[in-house]
Amino acid sequence: MATFYSAVSGVLIILIMIALGFLLARNDWFDSKMTSMIARLVTQIALPAYMVSTIMEKFTARKLLSTLPDVFFPFVSMFILYIVSILIVKLFKIPKMHSGLFQSMFSNSNTVFVGLPVNMALFHNQSLPYVLVYYMVNTTFFWTLGVFLIQKDGLAHASVNWKKTLKKVFSPPLLGFMVGVALVLTHITLPDFIMQDLNYVGGLTIPLSMIFIGISINSVDLSNLHFDRSNFLILFGRFLLAPTIMSLLVVPTGMPTLMKQVFIMQSAMPIMTNAPVVSRLYHADSEYASIMVAETTLLSLIVIPILMVLVQRI
């Protein structure tokens, strides 16, 4: 009963903040410029500050060093998903104009705007290093192979611009993580007033992320949502196959139970919100990507509570 109550409480925390964003957007509090500003504020300011302050306050050098090698598990999980996506594209004859985008969306999850607050609500600050380990791999995977696959749909000749790719991979959240780790490993402490500032600014991360999701849900035109073979297959990959593969990889190991739980939760998050943006940039089908982001985000409100209860039984 305590497990169920904890899971329900974590979901309610998330849903109330999402509902707030939805209601405010429904009452015209936000325009497109304001929505973009919230996304930038979270990813470029609040989240890096949150990572630095939390890592410095909650973790030791020994714990961080023991955590970092476990990037192996998210990488293997995403690589298996990618291989499966290739087989599905061929077996189910996914249209060529969608094949690369399908594979990218099938393999990557939204580890920041959904994954981070979900894990914080359920497992609290002690889950942050494990969230960030998954985030590092997911971000690298998306901005290299994922973007290359999307380019294939929209451009005659796809290639990887390593300068731009590195800039995307080494994003402000990842740099914030790296700074926090460096400060902990070198035993450097920051003045109290700076730590207070980082805590205040970092405290914006979770509520603004949830409000952003609520705004995004409000912007969805439900008449555009539909479920065809391709859509169902992506839902299968995101919400069933991904957590199953991750569970098979991590449950038999001796890694901390909390790490297992976080990795499984992160693997089953909806599609990255960057997918439609990248699709538009490279002339792929951005409408298809937007529909899938909306569908997976909406359905995650059903999937997350179920998964929360299941992972707490590990």
Residue 143 Cα distances to 22, 33, 84, 259, 267, angstroms: 29, 24, 19, 24, 17
Do the Cβ atoms of 78 and 107 come closer than 8 Å?
Answer: yes
- Numbers of helices and strands, H then E, in the chain: 18, 0
Question: From CA 114, how far away is CA 31, in angstroms rounded?
Answer: 21
The whole-angstrom separation of Cα 137 and Cα 150 is 18
What does pTM read for this prediction?
Answer: 0.81
Tell me which residues of the chain have a pLDDT lower than 70. 1-8, 10-11, 155-162, 164-166, 168-169, 220, 222-225
Torsions phi, psi for 58 (to 5 deg) = -110, -15
Which pLDDT does position 102 carry in this prediction? Answer: 94
DSSP 57: H
Which pLDDT does position 159 carry in this prediction? 60
Q: Domain 2-311's class?
A: mainly alpha
| 3-state DSSP assignment of residue 255 | coil
Total residue length of the chain: 314
The DSSP letter of residue 142 is I
Q: Which class for 253: exposed (0-12), middle (13-18), buried (19 or more C-beta within 10 A)?
A: exposed
d(Cα 124, Cα 44) in Å, to the nearest integer?
A: 22
Domain borders along the chain are: 2-311
Cβ atoms of 292 and 231 closer than 8 Å = yes
Q: What is the DSSP string of 256-268?
A: -HHHHHHHHHHHT
Residue 4 confidence (pLDDT): 60
Q: What is the pLDDT of residue 69?
A: 79
